[in-house]
Amino acid sequence: MDRPFGLVAELTYRCPLACAYCSNPVNLADYADELSTDQWLRVLAEAAELGVLQCHLSGGEPLLRRDLVDLVATANELGLYTNLVTSAIGLSRPRAEQLRAAGLDHVQISIQADEPALSDRIAGTPSFERKIEAAHVVKELGWPLTLNVVLHRKNIDRIAEVVRCAERLEADRLELANTQYYGWAWRNRAALLPSRAQLEQAEEVVRAARARLAGTMDILYVLPDYYSRYPKPCMGGWGARQLIVAPNGDVLPCLAAHSLGLPRASVHEDSLASIWTDSPLFQRFRGTDWMPDPCRSCDRRDIDFGGCRCQAFQLTGDAARTDPVCHLSPDHGIVTEAVRAANERTHEDLLTARPHRG
């Protein structure tokens, strides 16, 4: 693809929750100067002109933006399919009705577990009941509903109960995605990485649920990278399908690319089209020419594109190395050691919660 398919508009990193698995940047103060309404409207127009079809309104908590309804209305007028990615804190019926009238197409609500005590403990604030109420509002207003549950050592054993919760809420799609270890999740990896036994049990539950709910609810299950034989392609390939605009106007080819120390690209300085086509940031790992061996000579180089550049940097300090998740990587021992430690752990590590910034 020579044009991006999707735009992830990270409207703000402010959030009423304090999830210890949050993968957003730790240095939130660097993103306090958020794009204005007019600047976001320009970004949406440039995205549509560039060929973007889907706009994911995300954060942090996008409902904290008072201009959210206006942004949705403009995206709808531009012909973009809009998806609200939200904790649902603040999704009252009046606000939901405004968003429905503005043309919002889809709502994705995150829940942390299937019952109040555990969910609220993971979220760092009482929130479960409000999420459930919001999910009912979403269905009553006729939206498709996706529930997203980030899985980790603290909640994966309740995956069967999570599926039943999604059934009760009549979710159209359930995303069961194991934690990606960036941001606060990286700081909490020892406490979050599940054991192999936990994963095997979870996979068994997912297989049975998919068979039972086929045609009723789509279930997406994403393995933790650390237990995979091969890495996943980063965002479908670096600078290949999607672009991310951060709250401060930085434009990124993947959600954690801010951590790599590469030259910045910003809507304050260039258009989205110029950034997508010409910026050194988007060119750096696009395609396969940049690859070292064993990626360069691997038959999978056009499938996983060497894996995640941010994960390679996180684990080795070099974003150009083969993702250590791959069993062919010369650095794979880093991952096997983390997995060994997770499977030998007999105590419960304490989580460091992301600070509240609502």
Known binding positions for [4Fe-4S] cluster: 15, 19, 22
CA distance 158 to 205: 10
Burial 104-116 (b: 16+ CB within 10 A, else e): bbbbbbbbbbbee
Name the binding residues.
15, 19, 22
Q: Where are the beta strands (DSSP E) in the chain?
A: 6-10, 54-58, 81-86, 106-110, 145-151, 173-178, 218-222, 242-245, 251-252
Q: Which amino acid is at 102?
A: A
Q: How many helices (H) and strands (E) does the chain have?
A: 14, 9
- CA dist list (Å): 249 to 12, 29, 228, 254, 263: 10, 14, 34, 14, 14
- CA dist list (Å): 330 to 53, 107, 261, 300, 326: 39, 41, 23, 16, 9
Q: Which residues contact 348 (CB under 8 A, 6 or more apart)?
A: 191
CA distance 104 to 98: 9
Strand, helix or coil for residue 321? coil
Block residue for tokens 């479908």: 236
- Spatial strand order of the sheet with 54-58 comes to 218-222, 173-178, 145-151, 106-110, 81-86, 54-58, 6-10, 242-245, 251-252
- The answer to whether 65 touches 43, Cβ cutoff 8 Å, is no
CB burial of residue 156 (10 Å; 0-12, 13-18, 19+): buried
CA distance 125 to 19: 9
As given in the structure block, the two tokens for residue 266 are 């910003």
CA angle 319, 322, 323 (to 5 degrees): 80
DSSP assignment string, 284-299: TTSSSTTPPTTTTT-T
